[in-house]
Structure 1
Amino acid sequence: MPRCAANLSLMYAELPFLARFGAAARDGFRAVEYLFPYAYAAEELAQQLAQHGLQQVLFNAPAGGGNLAEMAQAWEAGRRGSLCISGEETHFREGVWQALHYAQVLGCPRIHVMAGLVPHTLAREALVSTAHENLRWAAQAAADVGVEVLVAPINGRDMPGYFLQTQDQAHSLVQTVAAPNLKVQMNLYHCQVMEGDVATKLRTYLPTGRVGHIQVAGVPEGHEPDGGELHYPYLFDLIDALGYSGWVGCAYRPRHGTSQGLGWMAHPACRMG
């Protein structure tokens, strides 16, 4: 049965960030994910995890920046990763090293490496070789410390120009690089917005073993997965039937208070850890 992790960047937004760990634990979650940890010391976050009996299951490598202060502000500055960007290799590697440091302190088994925005002056195809080389390096660096590296498609409506927008593009990268610790983060919200046919995508990709993490949100608004275009009770049963044993990140923006909106987790296929 899928195990659900609270996304603390999106859920419990009514609370200060460090207070969200305790709120998630009180609601029954046993695992958390979030976008970026770099505004906080890794030891401070590890203390929150230990205090509340939580497991860190995912976070992003920095979206950009050459030092920790810049990395902590990169997302707000409009950066969306540098995996595919020629000339950014040094910053990319510095960001991965920083992410791996946090992963070791937090006991987190996987990091998501953001692919970046395609420059207006270039075609996407011109960036593929840079992405391959960066992923080979990142996968080896992560393997040395027992961490998985994930890449994730993001729909072009929410993030125009993002280098990876479809499941096929992400899986093609993973297959080409062919590192055993390199996998795809499959966000069903992004998949539905960009491609549709989500159940078929699950049947296609989950059996490959190359999906390292799943995330969910309602479509099209990105709220709780209890309404909209996707019928999540069916999809949760399908995920279970396909034998997926990883985590499902609750990467949605609650309509109102987070705790009040958790009724959707009453489905038998959902559990918090």
Structure 2
Amino acid sequence: MPKLNLNLQFLFTEYEVKERYKKAAELGFKFVELQNPYGIDVNELQALLDDLGLEQILINIDVSDKELKSMNLALNPLKRDKFKERVEKSVQYAETLSVRVVNCTPGPALNDFEYAE
């Protein structure tokens, strides 16, 4: 039997994020992913996972750049410090939640920079 997981970033969007975890557990799933769990305190999220018998298997590094309204923070050489902070936060979440997969999406290319930068 395959082990399936629910992607809570895109499912049950009519519910608040914590309620999505509860819905996954109610349906009998054991594994979930949520690309952007950073709106929930990591310890609170771990307690929720434990209470529901769920395992978080994937998160993304937050590459959103609210200033530029883009999703390519990882590519912007002027935002290295901000990207480093986001990587560190992702590592904290991954370690606390025992997540084995941390995804980093590059986003759309920037026209104003050379790849060497």
With the length of structure 1 as denominator, give the TM-score of the two structures. Answer: 0.39
Deviations 1:76-122 (A, max 9, x none): x7331322222222111111001001111111112111213222335
Unpaired runs of 5+ residues, structure 2, are none
Identify the match of residue 112 of structure 2 among 117, 121, 125.
Answer: 121
SS in 2 for 1:19: helix
Post-superposition offset of 1:35: 1.9
SS in 2 for 1:108: coil
| Alignment RMSD | 1.9
Corresponding residue for 1:30? 30
* 1:104 and 2:92 aligned: no
Unpaired runs of 5+ residues, structure 1, are 66-73, 131-273
2 and 80 in structure 1: CA distance in 2 versus 1, 3 angstrom threshold: farther
Deviations 1:139-180 (A, max 9, x none): xxxxxxxxxxxxxxxxxxxxxxxxxxxxxxxxxxxxxxxxxx
* 1:84 and 2:75 aligned: yes
Structure with higher Rg: it is: 1
Query: Aligned residue pairs: how many?
Result: 116
For the 8 Å contact 2:63–2:74, the answer to whether it is kept is: no
SS in 2 for 1:91: helix
Q: Distance in 1 between matches of 2:50 and 2:27?
A: 16
Corresponding residue for 1:16? 16
With the length of structure 2 as denominator, give the TM-score of the two structures. Answer: 0.86
Runs (4 or more) in structure 1 with deviation over 6 Å come to none
For the 8 Å contact 1:81–1:116, the answer to whether it is kept is: yes
27 and 13 in structure 1: CA distance in 2 versus 1, 3 angstrom threshold: same
Q: Distance in 2 between matches of 1:2 and 1:85?
A: 39
Identity over aligned residues, as a percent? Answer: 25
